[in-house]
Amino acid sequence: MIKIAKAYAQDGDKSNALLWLQRGFASRYDEKPFLIGDSAFTSLGEDKDFKALFGIDTQEKITKEEAWTKDINYLEKRIYELHYSPNHAISKTRLSNELAKIKSDLTSLSDLQIIVKLMGIIGSLGNGHNLIIPTSPTNDALKKLPVQFYQFKDGLFIVDAELGFEKWIGFKVASFDNMPAEVALQKTNAVNARDNSMQTLWLGPYYLTLPDVLKELGITRNNDSVTLTLSDAQGKSQKVTMNAFDWDFKGFPKMPKLKGVEQPLFLSKIDDPYWYKLQPEHDAIYVQFNAVTQKEEQSLIAFNAEVRGQINQNQIQNLILDLRHNHGGDGSILPPMLKTIINFEVMNPDGKIFVLMGRETFSAGQNLLTDVTKHTTPILVGEPSGSMPNHIGEAGWFKLPYSGLMGLISTQFHQTSKAEDNRKWIAPHIPINMSSTDYFNGTDEALNTILELVKLD
């Protein structure tokens, strides 16, 4: 429909161009904000009817309160324009009332407070593909602490840091101001739209790095700095105050590589979408699938052809698929990977398939996990997955016309499993949750467990 609209616009037919744009947007077109600058609509660029489709009007002198009111009204419209099921977690009446409350309080709120309150609105939609990009506003943007947190089975730890703060890597976080870290983590659920509680472990630590969020949730007292109570490996405790800094959101963080040491296998190539390593001593091939995308130098089809060739050539009996870093991507290109797993089981009836999984196995990564468990008999090792076998996914963009605030809204339902499958996640057969000691020592207990099982055959 959007292609039809572009054709009409290029032909100078405004009425039909606008008609097909409206039809496309009503069908949950994902890329709406990016059409304003599309060359196909150059002739309509300043047309008031065209701008109105994007929430832009002709009002010239506008107050902060008027601008945010228009933005909030547009956000509500965009939620219903995009979301597959906008009221499955929050009623239409409550959603409308929550937005109305923000509008009524605009005169007493700063831009940053408004942004965090809108993050709460998006969080209330209740599934994991809804989010606000906190650094997108044109007027003001949320700042961030200079560290990255990760929740291990033995607590919340600093796993990465900006220059000048590296000395705190490896320290355990006991509290934010005076609030225990475990309590603060649960409070992030108010802004963390999630499919299940594994996303609290995955994304909650990210929200804990945003002081504006911490203040709004009542975790800390101000939004300029946060006082952390940290303890070292010997248990010695100290209070450290960290100031927030300007940053640019590039996506949710992955578990980072270790600093200054040789990387364990599972962290060695986390930025490579897909790769493999033969392990002849275990009669195995290790395949790490980190992002559902295509590499320029080797398509996913070509990669899987190479993997199958290696399996046949080396008579591999153990296939290890690592999905622990896989946040998803373009699910339409998954079939080659799924076919490789199915082909392995068909051609190697005495062989074994192992899948490493966890909190970051999400979206299209979850879809592959669901399909693998549906069509083959793998042994699952690690944590429960970060999404549900059947889930609301995809991501349609919104951009608020005055503040420039951008974000994503879920647009499609993925029924990858049978209709009556209401599981909140796929659970592992062998549960293993990483400890901070294993991580900082470069020990992969989950993979080691698999290799020990292989030895028993």
At 122-135, the pLDDT tens digits run 999 988 889 999 99
Q: What is the pLDDT of residue 30?
A: 86
Q: What is the pLDDT of residue 395?
A: 81
Q: Which of 1-10, 141-150, 183-192, 349-358 has the lowest mean pLDDT?
A: 1-10
CA–CA dist 363, 360 (Å, integer): 9
Confidence of residue 251 (pLDDT cuts 50, 70, 90): confident
Confidence of residue 245 (pLDDT cuts 50, 70, 90): very high
Please determine, for residue 353, whether its predicted confidence score (pLDDT) is greater than 90: yes
Q: What is the pLDDT of residue 59?
A: 77
Confidence of residue 93 (pLDDT cuts 50, 70, 90): very high
Task: State the Rg of the chain over Cα.
Answer: 24
Torsion angle of C-alpha atoms 55, 59, 60, 62, degrees rounded to 10: -80
Q: Which residues contact 196 (CB under 8 A, 6 or more apart)?
A: 384, 386, 387, 388, 424, 425
Please determine, for residue 176, whether its predicted confidence score (pLDDT) is greater than 90: yes
Average pLDDT, the chain: 94
Per-residue pLDDT reduced to its tens digit, 144-159: 999 999 999 999 999 9
Write out the CATH class of domain 265-387+425-456: alpha beta
Q: What is the pLDDT of residue 302?
A: 98
Please determine, for residue 288, whether its predicted confidence score (pLDDT) is greater than 80: yes
Confidence of residue 392 (pLDDT cuts 50, 70, 90): confident
CA–CA dist 244, 209 (Å, integer): 9
Structural domain boundaries of the chain? 1-58, 69-253, 265-387+425-456
Pick among 2.60.120.260, 3.30.56.10, 2.60.40.10, 2.30.42.10: CATH of 69-253: 2.30.42.10
Q: Which of 338-352, 388-402, 436-450 has the lowest mean pLDDT?
A: 388-402
Q: What is the pLDDT of residue 413?
A: 87
Mean pLDDT of the region 201-208: 96
CA–CA dist 72, 111 (Å, integer): 13
Q: What is the pLDDT of residue 343?
A: 96
Which one, of 188, 176, 189, 174, lies nearest residue 220 by Cα?
A: 176
Q: Tell whether pTM > 0.75.
A: yes
Please determine, for residue 58, whether its predicted confidence score (pLDDT) is greater than 80: no
Please determine, for residue 303, whether its predicted confidence score (pLDDT) is greater than 80: yes
Query: Residue 86, by phi and psi: left (phi above 0), alpha (psi -120 to 50) or beta?
Result: alpha
Confidence of residue 27 (pLDDT cuts 50, 70, 90): confident
CA–CA dist 186, 275 (Å, integer): 35
Using alpha carbons only, what angle is made at residue 76 by residues 88 and 328, rounded to the nearest 5 degrees?
60
User: What is the percentage of the chain residues whose pLDDT exceeds 70?
Assistant: 100
